[in-house]
């Protein structure tokens, strides 16, 4: 699982930096199991909100031809928010106290109920099957501070074996 997390996280896509992010973003990726079968991926992330109290947030965008990664997100929860606006299906504007600690969690569910066919696999959507998964980071991980990049900034992820520190390079 650790190797898959590292591979998925290494592909975390971000926009170019216009100004510095308020702080690091901690990601946790866990399997959701029912009856010993993998049914979804659970993502939890924690970060500090903007000093203005308004934090732009993008759900997973996808990769390649699939730019609608938000379609596989379920049960989105944003703790620490006072309210949340939805300007479009893939974005949120989080209203919170200035510099509030925000915790976001959601499930990434299977797009298909079968092993993907070659034309489906070419779309780079997350594949969640009973005993395995495959995903590109930008199709699984949401991103706060949407107009910012994490390039050169540490991203901390954790799986059952402990923390993994990844530094994304341009």
The secondary structure of the chain, three-state, reads: CHHHHHHHHHCCCCCCCCCCCCCCCEEEEEEEEECCEEEEEEEEEEEECCCCCEEEEECCCCECCECCHHHHEEEEEEECCCEEEEEECCEEEEECCCCCEEEEEEEECCCCCCCCCHHHHCCCCCEEECCEEECCHHHCCCEECCCCCCCCCEEEEEECCEEEEEECCC
pLDDT tens for the 170 residues of the chain, in order: 444 443 333 333 333 333 456 678 999 999 999 999 999 999 999 999 999 899 999 998 876 666 788 889 999 999 999 999 988 888 899 999 999 999 999 999 988 788 877 776 666 778 889 998 888 888 899 989 765 333 444 444 444 555 544 433 33
List the structure tokens of 140: 């699984």
Domains of the chain in sequence order: 2-167 (2.60.40.3650)
pTM: predicted TM-score of the whole model, two decimal places: 0.73
């Amino acid at each position: 699982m650790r190797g898959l997390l590292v591979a998925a996280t290494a592909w975390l896509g971000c926009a170019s930096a216009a100004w510095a992010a308020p702080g690091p973003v901690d990601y946790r990726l866990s399997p959701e199991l029912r009856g010993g079968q993998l049914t979804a991926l659970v993502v939890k992330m924690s970060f500090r909100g903007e000093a203005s109290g308004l934090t732009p947030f993008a759900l997973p965008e996808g990769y390649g031809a699939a730019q609608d990664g938000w379609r596989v997100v379920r049960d989105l929860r944003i703790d620490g928010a006072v309210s949340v606006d939805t300007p479009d299906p893939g974005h949120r504007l989080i209203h919170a106290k200035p510099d509030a600690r925000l915790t976001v969690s959601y499930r990434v569910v299977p797009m298909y109920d079968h092993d993907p066919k070659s034309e489906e696999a070419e779309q780079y959507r997350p594949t969640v099957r009973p005993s395995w998964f495959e995903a590109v980071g930008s199709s699984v991980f949401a991103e706060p501070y949407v107009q910012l990049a994490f390039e050169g900034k540490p991203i901390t992820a954790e799986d059952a074996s402990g923390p993994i520190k990844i530094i994304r390079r341009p």
